[in-house]
Chains A and B, each alone.
Chain A
Amino acid sequence: MAPRVAEERRVVEAALVGAGGAGGALARGAIAGLLPAFGWHELAATQLVNLGGTMALGLLVGVLERSGPRPRWRAFLGVGVLGSFTTFSTLVDESRSLASMTSSGVALVYLAGSLAVGIAGFWIGERASTLGLQRSSPSHDATETAR
């Protein structure tokens, strides 16, 4: 019985990862296609996608930390939507173009700087999730006492 349940859970998670992956890729494709039409540089579009997605993941991780593990939400939003929405390969390819336009030093600083900004963004998202929960903590305490 137990292996069967585990198997079914995995199938559901696979469907959620796939659906989220499609959504994340479509959203990234839409932003990458739209923003340059409004005069944005393609580098800026990738940065926006990566930073926004990473902050959102920080928020999700922070929320799941407190709510306890929710494998389905993690699979759909974390692995699927946000994992696909953000991209490393495009960032590396854009760094390569930057290297051919400027120098490899500039490209390397750009790539390292992107990682640093992303990590800061993740941390900010995580902090933001605690702020939201602190505000709502009275009702949280109430349910704890009620239990």
Chain B
Amino acid sequence: MESRDGMVWAAIAVGGVVGAWIRWSLALLVQHASKNRPRPFDPSRATLCANILGCFLLGVFLAHPSLLEPPSHGWRAAALPAFATTGLCGSLSTFSTLCSDAVRRARAAPGRGAVLYLLAHLAGGPLALWLGSTIPG
């Protein structure tokens, strides 16, 4: 691995911004879609979507490194992969919110809610990663 220089760090930061924004937008979307419903959607659905999407994209990026080749000579070879994997996918997906969602679900309705949520992650994450890696590129 080449040592990370300024451009690679900048790429991770930009990917982090984009990933966090997408994850936050998904949360706002779920909130908005709940507006005129008698029972609002659980906000944890947005976290699940972000995590599944993050795994899917990571599968795509890892299986198709040619997508992330430097666009021109001035670019560091590691910049785009760092943007896409460590930055974007790492930041779009989250572990801390997933755990807090599971705890909140367990408290709101003791029973299946939290278990189903965790199972959706356990099954959905690896499945999405695999699906992402199978798409032709």
* A interface list, Cβ under 8 A from B: 13-14, 17-26, 28-29, 32-33, 50, 53-54, 56-58, 61, 75, 78-80, 82-93, 95-96, 107-108, 111-112, 114-115, 118-119, 121-123, 126
Contacts and interface: CB of A to CB of B under 8 A. Distances in A.
24 contacts: A17-B20, A17-B24, A21-B16, A23-B16, A24-B20, A25-B19, A25-B87, A28-B86, A29-B87, A78-B97, A84-B19, A88-B93, A88-B94, A89-B51, A89-B54, A89-B55, A89-B89, A95-B126, A96-B126, A111-B126, A114-B95, A115-B99, A118-B99, A121-B99
B16 A24 contact: yes
Contact residue range for chain B? 35 or more
Contacts of B16: 21-26, 84
Contacts of A19: 17
B102 to A, nearest CB: 6
A37 B23 CA distance: 31
A92 B94 CA distance: 11
A18 B13 CA distance: 9
Contacts of B134: none
Secondary structure dominating the interface of A: helix
Contacts of A61: 100
B121 interface: yes
B20 A79 contact: yes
B103 A18 contact: no
Contacts of A123: 103
A39 to B, nearest CB: 16
B41 interface: no
Nearest to B58: A89
Contact of A93 (B58, B87, B91, B92): B58
A117 to B, nearest CB: 9
A86 B94 contact: yes
B122 to A, nearest CB: 6
B19 A92 contact: no
Contacts of A119: 99, 102-103
Contacts of A84: 16, 19-20, 90-91, 94
A92 to B, nearest CB: 4
B20 A20 contact: yes
Contacts of B14: 22
